[in-house]
């Protein structure tokens, strides 16, 4: 009972303190002293996933850079749109940073949420993991070219697993269809891991998920990856060619994560955040952490990130329209 009571008391205390912290922060107009108090990163995903891991590891490094504590708050719901909406509508003083991910550029097209990238001011992109076409080890094709030829001979029969209808890996498979002029059977799963499991179990023919998500099975010899949808080869599987190398022109498609603040945040504050978080992301410990977790680091500055999100939103709009999901 004591344990129970103390747990209750603690939770109530934590809530109260959290509540006060959010409301009482006096802001200063002078950015030269930024940050004067602790920063909070809103993670619109549950604890334990890749987004959460990236945010926590980065926060850990950035604390040293900023000399302030950085809290991570998981706020789930609506495929991430709940947490992101809160981040977009937060006080524009730079103390509430939101970790956004690729879905932000898809919400509007999928009819999930009116939220778009231009409601934020980007700090920078941190991570990118491309889609990779992975098939069963005993499949009758060994290269992307052979796969495409096989799919052309068997239109609509090759089943390609993704992590959910309208997910980035579904979009990736659709881009593959478009670029290669083939027709496949999209099989949605509840996440990438179940899709990979179905591939290993021989229930589907291919998956278009990230290299990290197939790495274990690749090393076990259960699957083979034919090509990666990126401009450069993946560090995790350096032997696998890119789509361009394998002879198919395709836009780099994959999942990414980056940091943003509300749109009206002063530019000098954003500049400070950009400088600090980029420095943190270049830290060796962070690189090591990302590597062991199979997460790729790709840094983009505030400007580049904005242009990138804009491009993504356009591209995805077309593909989602063609898939009839809007």
Partner 1 sequence: MDLLLEGLTGVFQLNVLLILLMGIIAGITIGSLPGLTATMGVALILPVTFGMEPVTGILLLIGVYFGAVYGGSITAILINTPGTPSSAATAIDGYAMSKKGLAHKALTVSTVSSAIGGILSVIVLIFIAPQLATFALKFSAPETFALAVFGISIISSIAGKSMVKGLIAGFIGLLIATIGIDPIGGFPRFTFDNVNLSSGINLIPVMIGLFAASEAFRAMGSIFSTRKLTIVVEKVKLKWIEFKILIGTILRSGAIGTFIGMIPGAGGDIAAFVAYNEAKRFSKNKDGFGKGEMKGVAAPEAANNGVTGGAMIPLLTLGIPGDAVTAVLLGALMVQGIQPGPMLFENNGPIVYTLFVGMLVANLMILIVGLFGIRLFTKILLVPTTVLTPIILVLCVVGAYSLGNNYFDVLVMLISGIAGYFLMRYGFPASPIILGIILGPLMESNFRRALVMSQGSFDIFITRPITVVLLILAVITLFSPLLTRKVKKPTTEGES
Question: Which residues of this protein are in contact with partner 1, per CB under 8 A?
Answer: 1-5, 7-8, 11-12, 15, 46-48, 52-53, 56, 73-79, 81-82, 85, 110-113, 115, 156-157, 159, 164-166, 185-190, 193-194, 196-198, 200-204, 216-217, 219-221, 289, 292-294, 325
Place of tokens 């950085």: 70
Using the minimum distance from each CB to partner 1, give the nearer residue, 42 or 131: 42
Rounded least distance, CB 190 to partner 1, Å: 7
Contacts for 197 with CB less than 8 Å, ≥ 6 apart: none
Q: Give the phi and the psi of residue 212 in degrees, each rounded to 5.
A: -60, -35
What's the min distance (Å) between Cβ of 84 and partner 1? 9
Closest by alpha carbon to 244, among 256, 230, 254? 230
Work out how close the CB of 303 gets to partner 1 at its nearest, in angstroms, rounded to a whole number.
29
Cis before 35? omega within 30: yes
- Comparison of 266 and 317: residue with beta carbon closer to partner 1: 317
Distance of CA 85 to the CA centre of its chain: 17
Asked whether the beta carbons of 294 and 211 are under 8 A apart, the reply is yes
Q: Closest approach of Cβ 266 to partner 1, in Å?
A: 27
Decide whether 67 or 221 has the Cβ nearer to partner 1. 221
159: nearest Cα among 145, 173, 172, 146: 173
C-beta separation of 24 from 95 below 8 A: no
By C-beta, is 159 or 251 nearer to partner 1?
A: 159
The span from the CA of 225 to the CA of 227, in Å, is 6
181/202 with CB nearer partner 1: 202
- Angstrom distance (rounded) from CA 152 to CA 240: 23
Kindly state the smallest distance separating residue 302's Cβ from partner 1, in Å. 26
Q: How far is the CB of 108 from partner 1 (least distance, A)?
A: 12
Q: Which is nearer to partner 1, 72 or 299 (CB)?
A: 72
Q: Which one, 74 or 312, has the nearer CB to partner 1?
A: 74
Determine the Cα–Cα distance for residues 304 and 307; give it in Å rounded to an integer. 5
Closest approach of partner 1 to the CB of residue 98, in Å: 13
Q: Would you tell me the crossing angle of helices 168-180 and 302-323 to the nearest 10 degrees?
A: 70
Cα–Cα distance, 153 to 148 (Å, whole number): 9
Closest CB 115 distance from partner 1, rounded Å: 8
Q: Most distant CA pair in the chain: distance in Å?
A: 69
Q: Which one, 156 or 181, has the nearer CB to partner 1?
A: 156
| 173: its two tokens | 């498979």
């Amino acid at each position: 009972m004591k344990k129970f009571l103390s747990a209750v008391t603690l939770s109530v205390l934590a809530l109260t303190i959290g509540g006060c912290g959010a409301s009482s922060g006096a802001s200063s107009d002078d950015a030269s002293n930024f940050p004067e108090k602790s920063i909070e990163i809103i993670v619109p995903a549950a604890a334990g996933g890749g987004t959460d891991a990236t945010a926590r590891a980065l926060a850990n490094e950035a604390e040293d850079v900023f000399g302030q504590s950085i809290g991570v708050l998981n706020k789930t719901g609506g495929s991430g749109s709940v947490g992101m909406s809160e981040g977009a509508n937060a006080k524009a003083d730079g103390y509430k940073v939101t970790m956004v991910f690729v879905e932000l550029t898809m919400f509007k097209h999928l009819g999930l949420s009116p939220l778009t990238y231009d409601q934020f001011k980007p700090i920078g992109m941190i991570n990118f993991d491309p889609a990779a076409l992975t098939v069963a080890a005993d499949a009758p094709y060994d290269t992307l070219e052979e796969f495409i030829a096989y799919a052309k001979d068997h239109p609509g029969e090759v089943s390609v697993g993704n992590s959910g209808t309208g997910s980035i890996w579904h979009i990736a498979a659709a881009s593959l269809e478009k670029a290669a002029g083939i027709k496949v059977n999209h099989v949605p799963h509840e996440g990438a891991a179940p899709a990979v499991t179905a591939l290993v179990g021989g229930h589907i023919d291919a998956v278009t998920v990230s290299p990290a998500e197939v790495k274990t099975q690749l090393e076990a010899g259960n699957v083979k990856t034919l090509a990666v949808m990126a401009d450069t080869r993946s560090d995790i599987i350096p032997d696998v060619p890119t789509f361009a190398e394998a002879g198919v022109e395709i836009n780099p498609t994959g999942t990414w994560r980056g940091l943003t603040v509300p749109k009206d945040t002063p530019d000098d504050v954003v500049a400070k955040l950009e400088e600090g978080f980029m420095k943190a992301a270049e830290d060796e410990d962070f690189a090591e952490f990302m590597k062991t977790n199979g997460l790729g680091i790709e840094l983009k500055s505030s400007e580049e990130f904005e242009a990138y999100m804009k491009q993504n939103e356009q591209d995805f709009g077309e593909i989602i329209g063609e898939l009839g999901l809007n």
